[in-house]
Chain A
Amino acid sequence: AQSVAQPEDQVNVAEGNPLTVKCTYSVSGNPYLFWYVQYPNRGLQFLLKYITGDNLVKGSYGFEAEFNKSQTSFHLKKPSALVSDSALYFCAVRDLSFSGGYNKLIFGAGTRLAVHP
């Protein structure tokens, strides 16, 4: 079965330090991977995606993610965290087994990022 795992419920980082939010996936085929962020009382916002090509993907707000096929991972990173980055982050993979005509995503459970001043 296809799945996405985010092994950390919460990540705590000091402002100015680098941050990593981990994601691993399991799909049968080439993965299409996404990161979304959810700020309090808001809907999910798209950050970045990996479809094909360069393993390092750059996205919004200075975030980037590294696709590692051998480790089946797609970790989200940022060189210098801001307090305003504090939010809930979701990793998602396109469900390749879904036969309907829709880009159905399988979401991870989410990781809460807390950036402390």
Chain B
Amino acid sequence: NAGVTQTPKFQVLKTGQSMTLQCAQDMNHEYMSWYRQDPGMGLRLIHYSVGAGITDQGEVPNGYNVSRSTTEDFPLRLLSAAPSQTSVYFCASSYDRGPLYEQYFGPGTRLTVT
């Protein structure tokens, strides 16, 4: 299994540009999520999905959109990039939502917005 994969690894955007961060998992996990990691802070939840066609907001959703058309894929869209969105983005998946089931993380996408 490849686990959780993310593309691209690095990206530089100009303010106002849009882009999509890709995330895919091959473990048939129903639950997927996006986090952002900023220096001196823990990971913060942006959006999550409990299954294909079902998404919801996390604690920092503004400026980001998601969709989940398949179990495998969970892309994150930045509609109009802002410098405050400079961060490292991690996608995660888990088999179930309970605390017994750990989350598996992708390698991350480092995004810089100038």
Contact = CB atoms under 8 A, between A and B. Distances in A.
Contacts of A49: 99, 102
A58 to B, nearest CB: 15
Interface string B41-64: 111110010100000111100000
A45 B42 contact: no
B107 A103 contact: no
A43 B97 contact: no
A115 to B, nearest CB: 22
Contacts of A90: 42-43
A103 B42 contact: no
A83 interface: no
Given A42-B107, A44-B105, A109-B40, A103 B90 contact: no
A54 B25 CA distance: 33
Interface residues of B, number: 31
Given A42-B107, A43-B106, A49-B99, A102 B43 contact: no
B105 A103 contact: no
Interface in B88-114: 90, 92, 94, 97-108
Interface string A81-106: 00000000010101000001111111
Contacts of B98: 103
Interface of B: 4, 6, 31, 33, 40-45, 48, 50, 56-59, 90, 92, 94, 97-108
